[in-house]
Amino acid sequence: MKKLIVLVLALVCIFYLIGCNQQSTTEQNIQANNSTESDENTELEIVETHNSIPNFSYTEDKEIYAEGEPGVKTSGFVNTTETEITFENVAERAKNECTVEYDSVTTYFDTDECVWKVHFCTDGMVGGDQSVYLDCDGKTVLIVYGE
């Protein structure tokens, strides 16, 4: 009887170790698949996000807002260091430059120039707004104040 119990316990231990090894391998495969799917989803999310962000032309805006004009700031920025910029954090980064009261934020992206435009304003109020332009490295390149 003792030999039978020892045999059963030995088999249980062996199956347990085999099961743990398979689970570990399965978990590694799942993590690898999730990582691959995550990378693929990230790429898809970026494409989808850029499609849902309103476009604008930084080149056209630069032509309209010339350096030295009132309400146009081209230097002396807060955001001068590089940081990763995404749709989710671009408004937070632009807030570092914002000096106006606002209750509405709209984000735009120029895919040709790789420049973000974050517009801060108060709904229903004419003027008193501010647009902060950031490059893809998170550095401010232009600020325009509304009248």
- Average of per-residue pLDDT values in the chain: 80
State whether 67 and 116 are in the same domain: yes
- 5 burial level (CB within 10 Å; 0-12, 13-18, 19+): exposed
Residue-wise pLDDT tens digits, 50-89: 457 888 999 999 999 988 899 999 999 999 999 999 999 9
Give residue-wise pLDDT tens across range 24-37: 444 555 555 444 44
Q: Which residue would you say has higher pLDDT here, 46 or 69?
A: 69
Average pLDDT over residues 138-146: 96
8 A C-beta contact, residue 114 and residue 127: no
Same domain for 68 and 137? yes
pLDDT score of 140 more than 90 = yes
State residue 60's pLDDT score. Answer: 94
pLDDT band at 8 (very low <50, low <70, confident <90, very high): low
Range of the domain at 96: 58-145
100 and 137 housed in the same domain: yes
Q: What is the pLDDT of residue 53?
A: 82
8 and 79 both lie in a single domain:
no
How buried is 37 (Cβ within 10 angstroms: 0-12 exposed, 13-18 middle, 19+ buried)? exposed
Instruction: Residue 132: name the closest of 84, 94, 91 by CA.
Output: 94
pLDDT of residue 48: 41
| Residue type present at position 24 | S
pLDDT at 18: 67
- Domain's final residue, options 20, 35, 52: 52
> Residue 49: what pLDDT?
44
Total structural domains in the chain?
2
